[in-house]
């Protein structure tokens, strides 16, 4: 009888974890938190995406959460979703450069430029992805759905400390998210609530373990919805 037992050799590169979500929902802060909390146990590097600047990279460098040369900026020059979804070449080059320069890395964090609710990473670029929304965007955001909210590997409902000030019911947002996510995980996060940061770090550890054991298969949340804006996409 043929042997159908599969063995999975340890991956030769780090887990590539994408963090997407609308502008200002706290993606850079979340990355800074992960670096601060995990850099004693994991070798980490970061790639950021901004449209015209390297501002997110500069902020992370200024925060002192990692040695500065482990943080690289990609200037997308167009809609941020293009560089994480349609043509990931610039990001792959930045990621591979860092992986080669600092080998062996354990975790590569890739921050999307802030975009609209529907931008997601291509599975050609990341092994897993987090989608980040915040309570300040309104209590009905989770209910509205979209590929990231519905199918990212983890949904973060961020800045829960602000909920009383913006009159948002976090429990209701969690229920709404649960309804559209078919059992996929959701974490209510605030950088001011240590237990929520613990939950985020535990999730990252568990995904890394699954990846290291060959048990993780990149899932594609699906492309963004049809949209239009004031400039042309490159065709090719
Ligand atoms: N109250 C509160 N504010 C937060 C939290 N996390 C981030 N912020 C603030 O939210 C603002 C935006 O955070 P960033 O981390 O820059 O957000 P971003 O998603 O990276 O922004 P872009 O890169 O511009 O899309 C900053 O003023 C942060 O200090 C949180 O847990 N609670």
What's residue 9's pLDDT? 59
Domains belonging to the chain, first-starting first, are 15-213 (3.40.50.300)
Ligand 1 contact via 25 beta carbon (within 6 Å): yes
Ligand 1 contact via 114 beta carbon (within 6 Å): yes
Highest mean pLDDT pick, 31-35, 49-53, 110-114, 118-122: 31-35
What's residue 232's pLDDT? 46
Ligand 1 contact via 160 beta carbon (within 6 Å): no
Ligand 1 mean position, distance from CA 216 (Å): 29
What's residue 25's pLDDT? 95
Ligand 1 mean position, distance from CA 166 (Å): 15
Ligand 1 atom with the smallest distance to the CA of 29 is 15
Between the alpha carbon of residue 67 and those of residues 36, 44, 48, 105, 179, the distances in Å are: 11, 10, 15, 13, 41
Ligand 1, pocket-test mutation among 23, 24, 74, 135, most atoms within 8 A of CB: 24
Q: How confident is the model at residue 109 (pLDDT cuts 50, 70, 90)?
A: very high
| pLDDT (average), residues 149-177 | 97
Structure-block tokens of residue 201: 């770090």
Residues 6 or more apart whose Cβ sits within 8 Å of residue 207: 15, 17, 128, 153, 216
What's residue 233's pLDDT? 44
Pairing of strands 71-75, 107-111: unpaired
């Amino acid at each position: 009888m043929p042997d159908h037992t599969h063995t999975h050799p340890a991956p030769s590169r780090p887990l590539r974890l994408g963090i997407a979500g609308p502008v200002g929902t706290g993606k850079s802060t979340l990355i800074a938190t992960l670096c601060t909390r995990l850099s004693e146990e994991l070798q980490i590097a970061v790639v950021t995406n901004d449209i015209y600047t390297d501002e997110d990279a500069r902020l992370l460098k200024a925060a002192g959460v990692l040695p500065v040369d482990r943080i690289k900026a990609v200037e997308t020059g167009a809609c941020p979703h293009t560089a994480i979804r349609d043509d990931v070449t610039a990001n792959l080059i930045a990621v591979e450069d860092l992986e080669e320069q600092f080998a062996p890395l354990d975790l590569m964090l890739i921050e999307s430029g802030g975009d609209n609710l529907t931008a997601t990473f291509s599975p050609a670029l990341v092994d897993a992805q987090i989608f980040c929304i915040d309570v300040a965007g309104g209590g009905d955001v989770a209910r509205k759905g979209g590929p990231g909210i519905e199918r990212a590997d983890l949904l973060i409902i961020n800045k829960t400390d602000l909920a009383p000030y913006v009159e948002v019911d976090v429990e209701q947002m969690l229920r709404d998210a649960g309804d559209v996510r078919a059992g996929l995980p959701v974490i209510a996060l605030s950088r001011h609530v240590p237990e929520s940061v613990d939950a985020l770090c535990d999730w990252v550890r568990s995904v890394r373990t699954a990846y290291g054991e060959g048990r993780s298969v990149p899932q594609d949340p699906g492309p963004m919805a049809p949209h239009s804006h004031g400039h042309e996409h490159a065709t090719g």
